Chain A
Amino acid sequence: MSELEKPMPEISVADAVRDRVHQTANISTSGIKVKATKLSVYYSDKQAVNEVTIDIPERCVTALIGPSGCGKSTFLRCLNRMNDMIDGARIEGEILLDGEDIYSSKTDVVQLRKRVGMVFQKSVPFPKTIFENVVYGPRVAGVRNRNRLMEIAESCLTRAALWDEVHDRLDDSALQLSGGQQQRLCIARALATNPDVLLMDEPASALDPASTARIEDLIFELKERYTIVIVTHNMQQAARVSDKTAFFFQGELIEAGPTTDVFTKPKQKRTEDYITGRFG
Chain B
Amino acid sequence: MAAGVGKSLKERVFHAMCLVATYGCVVILLALVASIFWEASGWLDWQFLTSRPSHDPEKAGVLVPLIGSLWIIGITTLVAVPMGIGAAVYLEEYLSDSLWKSIVQINISNLAGVPSIVYGLLGLVLFVRLMHFGRSILAASLTLALVILPIIIIATQEALRAVPPSIRHASFALGATRWQTVRHQVLPAAMPGIMTGVILSMARALGEAAPLIIVGGVGTMSYTPTSVYHKFMALPTAIYNWSSRPQAEFANVAAAGIVVLLVFLVILNAAAVTIRYRFGKRTQW
Contacts and interface: CB of A to CB of B under 8 A. Distances in A.
Interface of A: 80, 82, 85, 87, 110-111, 113-114, 117-118, 120, 122, 124, 126-127, 136-137, 139-141, 175, 186, 189-190, 192-193
A148 B36 CA distance: 64
> Is chain B's binding surface mostly helix, strand, loop or mixed?
helix
Contacts of B180: 140
A218 to B, nearest CB: 18
A205 B14 CA distance: 50
B59 interface: no
13 contacts: A82-B169, A110-B176, A113-B174, A114-B175, A118-B173, A120-B166, A120-B173, A124-B170, A127-B285, A136-B174, A139-B184, A140-B184, A189-B174
Contact of B283 (A114, A127, A192): A127
A116 B232 CA distance: 60
Interface in B243-285: 282-285
Interface in B160-202: 164, 166-177, 180, 184-185, 188-189
A190 B173 contact: yes
Contacts of B96: 87
A85 B173 CA distance: 11
A140 B166 contact: no
B97 interface: yes
B173, B284, B285 — which one has the most chain A CB atoms within 10 A of its CB? B173
Contacts of A87: 96-97
A118 B189 CA distance: 22
B171 to A, nearest CB: 7
Contact of A136 (B97, B176, B189, B285): B176
A110 B174 CA distance: 8
A139 B97 CA distance: 31
Interface centre among A80, A122, A136, A186 (most CB of B within 10 A): A136
Candidate in B171, B175, B284 with the most chain A CB atoms within 10 angstroms? B175
B167 A126 contact: yes
Contacts of A186: 170
Contact of B175 (A85, A113, A126, A175): A113
Given A124-B167, A127-B189, A82 B173 contact: yes
Contacts of B97: 87
Contacts of A82: 169, 172-173
B169 A137 contact: no
A189 B175 CA distance: 11
Q: Which 6 A-B residue pairings sit nearest by Cβ, starting from the closest?
A: A114-B175, A118-B173, A137-B174, A140-B176, A124-B166, A124-B170
